Amino acid sequence: MKKRVLLLAFQFVILSVSGQTLTGIVVAADNKKPISGVKVGIENTGIWTVTDNSGVFQINYNTSETLVFSRSGLLEEKKTYITVPANRITVEMKVASIRIDEVSLSAKKKNYSEIEIKEEALKNIQAFSLNEVLEQIPGQKLQNLNLNEFKPIVFRSILPTSVTDEGFGNKSFGTAIVVDGIPISNNENMQSYTGNYSPISRSLEHEGAVFSPNTIGFGVGSGYFSNTNYGVDLREIPVDNIESVEVVQGIPSAKYGDLTSGLVTIQQKSGRTPYRAYLSLRDGTQEYNINKGFQINELLGFINVNVNYLSSNSEPRTKFNNYQRIATNLMWTVYGKNKRISNSLSVDYGNNFDNANFEEEDESKLIVKNKKQDIRISNRFNWRFKDSFFDNLNINANYSQASQNSFKSQILNNGGKLVGTSISEGVYTATYSPPNYTQVQEVEGKPISMFFSADLKKNIKTKTNWIHNVLIGTSVRSSDNKGRGRLGSPETILTQFSGGGQAFRPYNFGENVRAEYQYSLYAEDNLYKRFGNYIFNMNAGLRFDNQFGASVLQPRINSYLIYKNFKIRGGFGISSKAPGINMIYTGPRYYDDVLADVRLPGYYNLGVMQTFVDYADNKNLKPSKSVRSEIGLDYKFPFGNIGLTAYYNNLYDGFTNEYFAGKRGAAQLQINYNGTNTPTYDITGYKDYYYLQNRIVNNLKSKDKGLELMVGLNKLPVKNVSLDITGGYVDTRNNSNTDRYFISTTITQEAIYGVYKPYETKYKQFNIGAALNYHLPKAGLVITLRTQHFIIDDKLQYNPRILYAYINKDLEKVMLTQDEINDPTKFANIKTTNMDEINQKLGKVFHNFNLKISKDFQNGFRFSFYANNFLDLKQTQITYTSGRPVESLKTDLLNLSFGAKIEYQF
């Protein structure tokens, strides 16, 4: 009885759509031969099928729906019918190449603010890695090909000169990369050599080491090797095996989680494709790639194989700093006999190696290496039901494991220093380092991640012709690291700071880190309806995440309204990003204080050390969160289209460091001398010893607001010429909202540390770019002139150093009165009159000019040539040093460089 009531209530609201059976055949446009393995889907639904070996398909279809035909290497086709054809339809598909007019050579906007880059547009970019592809997105900056450092990405935010900017670090960590529906995770990366620390000095301590260069190899040899606490290293992802890239800079679907700052979804090639091999050269970089997709038979499906090798030197004439990448992919795709079930099993293996070898004349014999080997096993299962309430079931599963090793070795000549070795608190006789020794720093990590998701889809239609595409699902992911961690011994590392500070001790990840989990539930409804000349669409969803024990509810909505050639769109959403396990498990922090260093040359050396231990894991860290909103307007002209988007994003609870004072009892010694014999010592008492500690907290706030422009002009007065224009203006403001500490000149007074208010850093950037394409399809020729112009690049960092409180000897925070602040004689030991100020602006407009030429020879060969800064512009800027203007080359513009790529397809 209850089931009948529930069924009647549901049918009162909606009417399930079964549709009519549409039969068709897909053939090649040139030779009319049937094409197998073409995916046939109904746009904005989960309804799909594939063509068989005869190119034939059957699908349930309703009038005015859009059929989408797609297969790797072919130009996508779309068909819409006002009435369902009674006879079998024939669909012709063209090979996606520069020999046809319709091929897309640039990024295109989709439904909301998503930007899609298809296969031929990817070829036109001629990228070595995914980071170069994403440089085509509005607001991004074309950069020199430096593959000798990790490559993060951030959308709709400032692009600082240094990745250590905390706003950039948080947003990079919050940018999700999803391959075939499965996220690539960097949450498990722990290749950091020390926990966050604060050496004692008379300066204002502020943002700490969450995104600072405290990792092995960071900045050594002009390369940033370890991307701990950042997003995915985009160097690791080659481009040739990618069918399409979609970038969501605004509000993602409720299906996607563990992100705050953008989403990149990648679809890899599957199905039958020809052999394709290429060699690409540019400066000190060489890349080799070969791939093939073939069909075993109709029962066993398709196998796709891709093998990529890249070697890149920071300097073309040397091999001091070399990066090597091996990336392989094997995908096996099977379709059920009735074409209702599909399953894809993928195995990806990667080997990435940064190697900085320096000149033989270098006395320190510095060697820096960073290795990463990883394997990803993924499975994607889709079941299109025949007679069931739901239309589709999707199940995705992934297991990833990597082996990481970061290594630094150098000869030091500053030996003879005391070294703390204790792993517990106390006073003890320390050891001395030898006068000359080899310092070896090494971190071994074994990150492990797992991901599982399952969702159900239903396409339904109401009696009033509203179309609903409903999705409900769940996912779970885990993060762990089983590596041996920080290796070595204090005697060989010697990182003790003069006057106190954090010192090295081994830390085993496998023994101290426990697996962290994320659970989620999500649901969304994609509504669609036509009202005469109007088309309305809204995607409304809700996501619930429990990330490492913290729960976040995340509503998300995207919508548009189309009237003839106008489209107005908008979106709003909340998202969250779990902390990395390197942020949570920092390990014990050891502070070594030298109590005595007594030496009589030729007779004895006596060093006495006291070690303090702080157990400072940040297990109370919560996810960072982001509120994102946008509104946009698009218009289609007879000769092109234009789109303008305004956005406002607010990231809060971001990851940053907070400093706080610690106090211990420092032992007071009496040294007992005995002639030339080694003295002894006695502890006569203890005195207060003050030092700064820190922890990672959720205090950072970062706000971005800006405008984006995308213009596509495909029918200009000059035949075969198209023009794409992109522009981006962004205003970014960061504030860690944590106090700054200023150590007292003397600890005999009440105030031990002065407490200063945090300050806000402000950035503004505006750049505009254009791509002018001259395309001759019959000749197989494309000439592209790409430009970028930097109009605004401002940085304002003003720290007035506002003292408002102090820390007393009991570690209490005492607020100051305004009179005490204004009176220079009061609390002078914690006051400073200095101000920190950076006010940088562009004095003129700077430019990048790049030229690319591609030629298809019809015999399977294709040759491409490109030149960056082909005008060899020597653009200078004026900076001020000690109040005097200094003219120098602007270093962040593109250098003159040449590259070539030769491809063979058969």
* Strands, E assignment, 54-181: 56-61, 66-70, 77-80, 89-93, 108-109, 115-118, 176-179
Mean per-residue pLDDT, 853-863 = 90
pLDDT at position 671: 93
pLDDT at position 288: 96
| pTM exceeds 0.95 | no
Task: Report helix, strand and coil shares of the chain as percent, to nearest 5.
Answer: 5, 55, 35
The secondary structure of residue 816, as a DSSP letter, is P
Q: How confident is the model at residue 18 (pLDDT cuts 50, 70, 90)?
A: low
Question: Going by C-beta distance under 8 Å and a sequence separation of 6 or more, which residues neighbour residue 653?
Answer: 622, 623, 624, 625, 698, 699, 700
Q: Please give the structure tokens belonging to residue 41.
A: 């889907």
Q: pLDDT tens digits for 96-126?
A: 888 888 777 788 888 888 999 988 888 888 8
Q: Please give the structure tokens belonging to residue 324.
A: 């090597």
Whether the pLDDT of residue 686 is over 90: the answer is yes
Which candidate, 477, 476, 551, 478, places its Cα nearest to that of 515?
A: 478
What is the phi/psi pair of residue 511, to 5°? -85, -25
Q: How far is Cα of residue 663 from the mean position of the Cα atoms in its chain?
A: 39
What percentage of the chain reaches a pLDDT higher than 90? 51
Can you say whether the dihedral through the CA atoms of 242, 247, 251, 257 is positive or negative?
Answer: positive
pLDDT at position 247: 95
For residue 802, count other CB atoms closer than 10 A to its CB: 12
Alpha-helical runs (H) found in 147-254: 166-173
What is the phi/psi pair of residue 525, to 5°? -130, 125
- Strand 176-179 relative to strand 263-268, pairing: parallel
Lowest mean pLDDT among 226-230, 312-316, 354-358, 472-476: 354-358
Mean per-residue pLDDT, 786-811 = 90
Mean per-residue pLDDT, 475-501 = 73
pLDDT at position 203: 57
Question: Going by C-beta distance under 8 Å and a sequence separation of 6 or more, which residues neighbour residue 335?
Answer: 50, 301, 341, 342
pLDDT at position 786: 93
Rg (CA), the chain: 31
Whether the pLDDT of residue 9 is over 70: the answer is no
For residue 479, count other CB atoms closer than 10 A to its CB: 25
Spatial separation of the C-alpha atoms in residues 537 and 362, rounded to whole Å: 65
Whether the pLDDT of residue 14 is over 70: the answer is no
Rounded to 10 degrees, the C-alpha dihedral 885/887/888/894 comes to 110
Lowest mean pLDDT among 225-229, 517-521, 573-577: 225-229
Mean per-residue pLDDT, 564-573 = 95
Lowest mean pLDDT among 320-324, 451-455, 764-768: 320-324
